[in-house]
Amino acid sequence: MRADQILHPTPAGLYCPPGDFYIDPIRPVPRALITHGHGDHARSGHGAVMATRQTLEIMAIRYGTDFAGQTQAADGPLRVGDTTVSFHPAGHILGSAQIAVQPDHGPRIVVSGDYCRHPNPVSAAYEPVACDIFVTEATFGLPVFKHPDPAGEMTRLIASMAEFPERPHLIGAYALGKAQRLIMLARQAGIDGPIAIHGALQRLCDYHVEQGIDLGPLVPATAKQVEAQLVIAPPSAFASAWVQRFRDPVIGFASGWMTVRARARQRGVELPLVISDHVDWPQVTRTITELAPSEVWITHGAEDGLMRWCELEGIPARPLRLVGYEDEPE
Amino acid sequence: MRAFSTLLERLAFTPARNAKLRILRHYLEQTPDPDRGFALAALTGGLKLRTVTPGLLRGLMVERVDEQLFALSYDFVGDLAETIALLWDTDRDEDVPLHQAVALLSDTGKAGLPTAIAGMLDRLGASQRLAFLKLATGNMRIGLSARMARIALAEMGDPDVAQIEEIWHGLTPPYQPLFDWIAGGPRPEQAAKAPFRPVMLSTPVDLDQLQAFRPEDYVAEWKWDGIRVQAINDGGVRRLYSRTGEDIGTSFPDLIEALNFDGTVDGELLVRRGDDVAVFGDLQKRLGRKQVGRGMLDSHPASLRVYDLMIWQGRDLRDLPLTQRRAVLDGADFGSDRIDVSPLLPFATWDDLAALRADPPAAVIEGVMIKRRDSVYVGGRPRGPWFKWKRDPHVVDAVLLYAQRGHGKRSGFYSDFTFGLWDADQLVPVGKAYFGFTDEELRELDRFVRNNTIERFGPVRSVAPKLVLEVAFEGLNASGRHKAGVAMRFPRISRIRWDKPVAEADHLSTLKAMIA
Ligand SMILES: [Zn+2]
């Protein structure tokens, strides 16, 4: 069987005919395999969903327990149609996985989903999985993206908090994964006191604590008087009247995009923090070099840059041009 | 240079003036000499370095990065120096002292420059690379004026801003004597000729407040709508300073040539053709030019209207009462028809003066100045001796079109408002205002914006054209940059017209008719 008969893009998402399933479909489908809990990958309304136990639990928190007709936790290799599938840590967020698809006849394909190789206290470390075809994101698929050590970014945050002790520091971070990682980074950097979190983060933070990730003392940032200098909120909160309760805040944002000044300015950010849970350029190119697949498929992101690199390296590559995934759905 | 690169980044992203000042002051307090002095010079445009061209930088990249990957990267980042800083491939991140980078950029010959720059970039991490490249391309763009730098310096020690301004122009980077003085050492000798002297400023007043004073204690003169300047000829050294001490002489060579006197005088810079003083917009065309063409010198001739004498023929007059300075001024010969004296206005009562102010003889007059006869000349803005009584502002009724979220104390509030006027049956944006309203009104405007949003673009929202704002402004300039062809000066929201139907807002033609 040819590779594109095993997996190919459709309007609903990547489809696997021999297994009769979709991976991270953007529309309701009878059977979905889901890499991780971010909203653009994990949607509700599918007939059956297979994902890691943590991804299933996260989906239940976000969409309610009836988010799919039936669910199955992915433990070890599993038969689906005429394929064997297995889930492997992706290092992106809690529960995130790469999905390896082994058809009975034909090449082995690894769909990496969103992945990251920086150490991340809220996610199991990325595990390289040998394959014939490696399906990768290219969110930061340009050589300008070399994410710095996050500890250095925390040093900048702490310096700003010391320089402006009277100003609350409101840092935008996506509710799932990035927010908890930011809290853990703050703890590692020595911020022991209470950190305030926006109401939209509460249940996901609670879930991380239940999973054994000690986030330390958290207080709600919904009160009239917020008792913490460091406040973490999802990006959408910054357009709402919620911000108005803070007096002269420093607005920050934690994202890989903050590498580029124009992007930080667009967001009206005063303290850009380059903290990403996606592979940067050195990581994505190193991963491809290590895995040495016979072909690379690029799902979404800055595919032109990565395509060019593959061309220079003599690695066959093709863009899948999947739509429906956000720029950095962290 | 690590601290310098952090400083640049913080200043670039920090919108509030006071926060910028604090960041700069902390940097200056914590950074050793001579680096802090070079940083200060770099920020205030006082550093004369070899300018590195974009062509040279591109040449460095051609040898190092695939052309297509470079083009894709540049396209995404949008700034050449930043693209190169991000793309440069090195594992090193040495904290290279700023003075080393400055020395490299001032001492290296043209032929050796590419190799020297590459060698420096090889030693630096990404944020230092960006700082170095911004230094090399002479392109800081962090919105910090020399005036603000001097305020930060004044916050560091005893000398105040006026004292620092007074010696500023005699100093050269890295300003060691200045920092020594701030730390308690001796005041630097004023070595340079024609130094800037702190300017005396006025406070606003109105007719009610004037009733507390006796008219006979004061003189009055027109307040000309030009640029307040200090013109100097000190033993042949000629200077023209703005009132904050910026040397603006290079933009006005015609006036510099006319400073054929011996002294330091306080006056208004104007464009004047014969007896006709031109509108501010004409003067604005002369501002900020490094070179002025013959045609511009002929069509927009600069002139000086003198208000006061500070130093005259070797005598410092600043401690004399105004009437005595004025007597010397009235008898002075400036030796050029580009320079004349601001006439005093005849009045016996404040009502007399109100009548004059209500009907000035020229559009370029923006009110009257009222000065105590016995006032000595002191730098700064003392309360009392000098008043400005400005003409009432112009107003138009405009329609709110867009709103942008504010920063700092206005975080979370839509506080920057773009408004428009009717042009035929369309509303054309004519300006932006972000003050004039009370905190309570800001909350009401914010609520209105949120409830009437049509579209969002990042921090900006377009708003249903439903609300009329009364916009007050000081004057108008023709402007090619604005779609409507006019730019308002100091626009602010003077009233929110919740009551007024949008159809009754003003037309663009009304505004254009106000251009004198
Ligand atoms: Zn994701």
For residue B67, the SS3 value is helix
CA–CA gap between residue A306 and residue A287 (Å, rounded): 12
The C-alpha angle with vertex A99 and arms to A94 and A102, in degrees rounded to 5, equals 160
Asked if residue B151 is part of any domain, the answer here is no
Q: What is the DSSP code (8-state) at residue B295?
A: H
* Of B20, B134, B223, B371, catalytic: B223
Nearest C-alpha in B relative to A145: B86
Are A267 and B408 within 8 A, CB to CB? no
CA–CA gap between residue B319 and residue A122 (Å, rounded): 71
Residue B388 falls in the annotated catalytic set: no
Quote the pLDDT of residue B190: 67
For residue A124, report the distance from its CA to the centre of ligand 1, in Å: 14
> pLDDT class for B107, splitting at 50, 70, 90?
very high
Cβ–Cβ < 8 Å for A324, A26: yes
- The answer to whether residues B386 and B403 belong to one domain is no
Asked if residue A328 is part of any domain, the answer here is no
What is the pLDDT averaged over residues B57-79? Answer: 93
Chain A contact set for B82 (CB, 8 A) = 260-261
Are B73 and A142 within 8 A, CB to CB? yes
Cβ–Cβ < 8 Å for A50, A29: no
- The answer to whether residues A65 and A123 belong to one domain is yes
- The answer to whether residues A49 and A123 belong to one domain is yes
> pLDDT class for B191, splitting at 50, 70, 90?
low
**Chain A nearest C-alpha distance from B449 (Å):** 11
For chains A and B, CB pairs below 8 A equal 95
- The answer to whether residues B329 and B454 belong to one domain is no
- The answer to whether residues B211 and B351 belong to one domain is yes
Quote the pLDDT of residue B483: 76
Cβ–Cβ < 8 Å for B269, B229: yes
- The answer to whether residues B453 and B382 belong to one domain is no
* Residues A16-63: tens digit of each pLDDT: 999 999 999 999 999 999 999 999 999 999 999 999 999 999 999 999
Dihedrals φ, ψ of B256, to 5°? -55, -45
- The answer to whether residues B107 and B5 belong to one domain is yes
The radius of gyration of chain A from alpha carbons, rounded to an integer in Å, stands at 20
Give the Cβ contact number of residue A290 at 10 Å.
11
CA–CA gap between residue A83 and residue A100 (Å, rounded): 10
Quote the pLDDT of residue B106: 93
Q: Which residue range is the domain that position B412 belongs to?
A: 394-514
If one compares B91 and B483, the residue with the highest pLDDT of the two is B91
- The answer to whether residues B300 and B341 belong to one domain is yes
Asked if residue B330 is part of any domain, the answer here is yes
- The answer to whether residues B373 and B313 belong to one domain is yes
- CATH number for the domain that contains residue A239: 3.40.50
Q: What percent of chain B has pLDDT over 70?
A: 99
Quote the pLDDT of residue A329: 43
Q: Which residue range is the domain that position A260 belongs to?
A: 150-273
Domain boundary among B137, B171, B192: B137
CA–CA gap between residue B436 and residue A198 (Å, rounded): 33
Cβ–Cβ < 8 Å for A330, A177: yes
Quote the pLDDT of residue A330: 38
CB-based contacts of B119: which residues, under 8 Å, 6+ apart? none
- CATH number for the domain that contains residue B451: 2.40.50.140
- The answer to whether residues A229 and A107 belong to one domain is no
For residue A92, report the distance from its CA to the centre of ligand 1, in Å: 7
> Is residue B57 scored above 80 in pLDDT?
yes
- The answer to whether residues B212 and B320 belong to one domain is yes
- The answer to whether residues A7 and A123 belong to one domain is yes
Are B23 and A163 within 8 A, CB to CB? yes
Domain boundary among A236, A255, A273: A273
CA–CA gap between residue B303 and residue A190 (Å, rounded): 62
Q: What is the DSSP code (8-state) at residue B433?
A: E
Partner-chain residue, chosen from B26, B86, B459, that has the shortest CB–CB distance to A144:
B86
Q: pLDDT under 50 in chain A at which residues? A: 329-330
- The answer to whether residues B254 and B377 belong to one domain is yes
Domain boundary among B365, B390, B415: B390
Asked if residue A330 is part of any domain, the answer here is no
- The answer to whether residues B209 and B273 belong to one domain is yes
What DSSP line would sit under A32-45, residue for residue? EE-S--STTTS-S-
Asked if residue A325 is part of any domain, the answer here is no
Bridge partners for A251 per DSSP: A170
Asked if residue B291 is part of any domain, the answer here is yes
- The answer to whether residues A140 and A160 belong to one domain is no
- The answer to whether residues A70 and A178 belong to one domain is no
Asked if residue B164 is part of any domain, the answer here is no
> Which has the minimum average pLDDT: A67-71, B110-114, B192-196?
B192-196
CA–CA gap between residue B70 and residue B88 (Å, rounded): 11
Asked if residue A329 is part of any domain, the answer here is no
Dihedrals φ, ψ of A125, to 5°? -70, 145
A145 to B5, B16, B52, B77, B482: CA distances (angstroms)? 19, 29, 25, 10, 36
Q: How does the average pLDDT of chain B come out, rounded?
A: 91
Asked if residue A326 is part of any domain, the answer here is no
Q: Does B457 touch chain A (CB under 8 A)?
A: no
CA–CA gap between residue B24 and residue B44 (Å, rounded): 12
Quote the pLDDT of residue B513: 82
Q: Which two tokens stand for residue B43?
A: 């920020």
- CATH number for the domain that contains residue B207: 3.30.470.30
- CATH number for the domain that contains residue A297: 3.60.15.10
Are B409 and A242 within 8 A, CB to CB? no
Asked if residue A327 is part of any domain, the answer here is no
Q: Does B92 touch chain A (CB under 8 A)?
A: no
- The answer to whether residues B86 and B221 belong to one domain is no
- The answer to whether residues A13 and A140 belong to one domain is yes
For residue A35, report the distance from its CA to the centre of ligand 1, in Å: 9
- The answer to whether residues B498 and B449 belong to one domain is yes
Chain A contact set for B6 (CB, 8 A) = 156, 159
Burial of residue B2 (number of CB atoms within 10 Å: 0-12, 13-18, 19+): middle
**What total of structural domains would you count in chain B?**
3
- The answer to whether residues A10 and A120 belong to one domain is yes
Asked if residue B159 is part of any domain, the answer here is no
Nearest C-alpha in B relative to A263: B77
- The answer to whether residues A140 and A157 belong to one domain is no
Domain boundary among B327, B357, B390: B390
If one compares B216 and B477, the residue with the highest pLDDT of the two is B216
**What total of structural domains would you count in chain A?**
2
Q: Does B12 touch chain A (CB under 8 A)?
A: yes
Window 284-323 of A, Cβ < 8 Å to B: 302, 304-305, 308-309, 312
B414 to A21, A25, A243, B411: CA distances (angstroms)? 47, 38, 11, 8
Three-state SS for B335-372 is CCCCEEECCECCCCCHHHHHHHHHCCCCCCEEEEEEEE
Asked if residue B431 is part of any domain, the answer here is yes
If one compares B143 and A271, the residue with the highest pLDDT of the two is A271
